Amino acid sequence: MLKFVILRKSRGWRSPVGRCTRYIIHFESTNMTQQGLAQQAQAQAQRAPSKLVIASRESRLAMWQAEHVRDRLAALYPQCQISILGMTTRGDQILDRTLSKVGGKGLFVKELEVAMAEGRADLAVHSLKDVPMDLPEGFALAAVLEREDPRDAFVSNDYASLADLPAGAVVGTSSLRRQALIAARYPQLVIKPLRGNLDTRLAKLDRGEYAAIILAAAGLKRLGLPERIRGVLDPELSLPAAGQGAMAIEVASGARGDGVDLAALLRPLNHAETAQAVLAERKVSKIFGGSCQIPLAAHATVQGGRMHLRAMVATPDGTRSAFAELDGAADRPEWLGEQVSALLAQQDAAAILAACREDAAGADGGIPAHA
């Protein structure tokens, strides 16, 4: 049973994007204890298959993630031979057009799903923010690993921060969300699209094509490149994308021919608090049709059985925005996502989203959401 304590509307939070109103709901639950997922690896080891194949994109970061999952599984099930099937997706191949024009974020996972459907792979490892809100029929997310740093990173060879960049300096970003946030606070800067994998983007910076670029801090840290980060952007100023910093494992749902319960085998890799947080974030994104055409952010933190969820939608130029946040029990993440979405809807969210879609339909230069 839930007890609502207070509902208030105030202007106490300063939005990083244009002007907006802060809405907060605080509630308490009579059942606040969040039980961790049971670790049953020893029992599952008796039922593990003789081999598993992990499908992965072939970028260096994607392979690091797949190797990380492989090593975790190998430690749990040493009798199982685990290999990685590297693949190039359409999202990796199409670099001369924005993803909003050629199919969106699903282009980074489709080929991996085909490999699983054809029996060439048993599971696929993704950066969760690349996974569409609605999976194709027959597929499911079996585990979400513990989150890395979810913040955005400022990367530059010559400047220490966005505030230090001179007027007219070119900033590269792959995200409409980041574009909106930067444009609102630093209208004197020039924002240009930045495509390619992490190494490609860093190379473009090093060639002088950009004065600075904004990347996900998680990718740089996972690849052992924290020294490239000149500074991380505080979530109060640059709210992360839904699922940013989290890795997910996708499997084909339904019974396997060999009787192996793959979801149960992967359960020890699931991080309960991260899984709760991303459920809330992805709920917001799903409700608002989160896609490559919409600057949308959603970020949740979990501590002591409670969750704090913040979300934002904005126009690409950062002149219009809606922001909402909700604090409550962590065991109802999708409900929290629904509530914060409702609070956004009470503001200018519908008009903002309509303007975004109109701009995307009338222009050929939107920046994709993949980061």
Residues designated as active site: 130
CA atoms within 13 A of residue 355's CA, in its CB half-sphere: 15
**Residue 222 structure tokens:** 């996972």
CA–CA separation, 291 and 168 (whole Å): 29
**Residue 81 structure tokens:** 């031979």
Backbone angles phi, psi at 351, to 5 degrees: -70, -35
Provide the b/e sequence for 73-89 (b: ≥16 CB within 10 Å): beebbeeeebebbebeb
Question: Directed axis angle between helix 333-345 and helix 272-287, to 10°?
Answer: 30
Query: What pairs with residue 326 in β-bridges?
Result: 309
Contact in structure between 269 and 140 (CB atoms under 8 Å): no
**What DSSP character marks residue 136?**
P
Q: What angle do CA 40, 245, 325 make, to 5 degrees?
A: 100
**Residue 85 structure tokens:** 């099937």
CA–CA separation, 162 and 151 (whole Å): 15
Cα separations (Å) of 335 from 147, 222, 322? 21, 32, 19
